[in-house]
Amino acid sequence: MSGKSRDQWAKELLTSTLALAWHASDPQTRKVADAAAVQVERLQAAKTKAEEAELAAAQELDEVKAKADRLQLEAEASAQEARTQRATVHEIYQVVTKGTGEPGDWHGAGPVRALMDQYDALAAHNVRLIEAGNALRAELAFWQGSDHAPRSQAARDRWTFAAEEAPATSLARLKAHWQAEVLEGFGFDCRDNAHAAADNGHPKAADGMADAADSAFEEADRLRKQAEGGDA
């Protein structure tokens, strides 16, 4: 028997007992029984009210728990978003500073704005260079009938080619020139070391360094030709 059934059974038993006692008793006893019945009803009402309050509290607790779960999920999502944003900012700083990470991200968007200012300045400077180059190309056209015509035409063609080239291609050419310069420097160092090895009686080492120098110069020459649009 459940707790609720027992309570109902006890209530009915008590009510029946009081009813029998009330009919079988004298007026004074019935008065006491009536008072007891009133007290029982009050107690039952109080119990019912307590049960309702307990049920309401349980429902409210469930709502609070559900809200807490939602807030926790939102907090986790916000934390993940913050981590993603920090990673993005870190990556931006690495790009802006070419991998050094300085100045640090506590400077806000300052380094990015500075880089954009440099970009705008370079763009404006590039416009001026193109205007000056176009004027120079027009000036060189007056040399067409002179002995300097071939060189004049070559200079004009080179300017036209450079002015019409895409920025990404220009950057690739510039990087190729840089790589060629590094290789040439390495080649000269190898050549000097080859001479030193030969002077000190190490012919094999000298030959190896000489071969390395030749390879470096060949690769540098290939890069320069590639940068100028020649055969790679």
Q: Which residues of 36-71 are buried (b: 16+ CB within 10 A; e: fewer)?
A: eeeeeeeeeeeeeeeeeeeeeeeeeeeeeeeeeeee
pLDDT of residue 232: 45
Q: Where are the domains of the chain?
A: 3-96, 109-163, 165-232
Judged by DSSP in three states, 175 sits in helix
- Please state, rounded to an integer, the average pLDDT across all residues of the chain: 76
Cα–Cα distance, 164 to 153 (Å, whole number)? 16
N-terminal to C-terminal alpha carbon distance within the chain: 96
Neighbours of 85 (CB within 10 A): 10
Are 164 and 187 a contacting pair, CB within 8 Å? no
Of the CA atoms within 13 Å of residue 228, those in its CB half-sphere come to 10
- Give pLDDT tens digits along the chain (232 positions): 555 666 676 666 666 665 665 555 566 666 766 677 777 778 788 888 888 888 888 888 888 888 888 988 888 888 888 888 888 877 877 777 776 656 666 667 777 777 787 777 777 767 777 777 777 777 666 666 555 566 667 777 777 776 676 666 777 777 888 888 898 999 899 889 888 888 888 888 888 888 888 998 999 898 888 777 644 4
Six-digit token string for 107: 């400077």
**C-beta of residue 105 within 8 angstroms of C-beta of residue 89:** yes
pLDDT at 50: 84
Residue 67, both tokens: 């809200």
CB atoms within 10 A of CB 176: 19
Cα–Cα distance list, 81 to 31, 72, 75, 76, 133 (Å):
74, 14, 10, 9, 50
pLDDT at 33: 65
* Residue 105 Cα to chain centre, angstroms: 13
pLDDT of residue 140: 67
Looking up tokens 């110069």 gives 217
pTM for this model (two decimals): 0.39
| pLDDT value of residue 231 | 45
Nearest Cα residue to 189 out of 165, 221, 217, 170 = 217
pLDDT of res. 44? 80
Kindly report, residue by residue over 12-61, the tens digit of the pLDDT: 666 666 566 555 556 666 676 667 777 777 878 888 888 888 888 888 88
Structure-token match 């080619």, residue found: 161
CA–CA distance, 224 with 229 (Å, rounded to integer): 9
In whole angstroms, what separates CA 211 from the centre of its chain?
A: 47
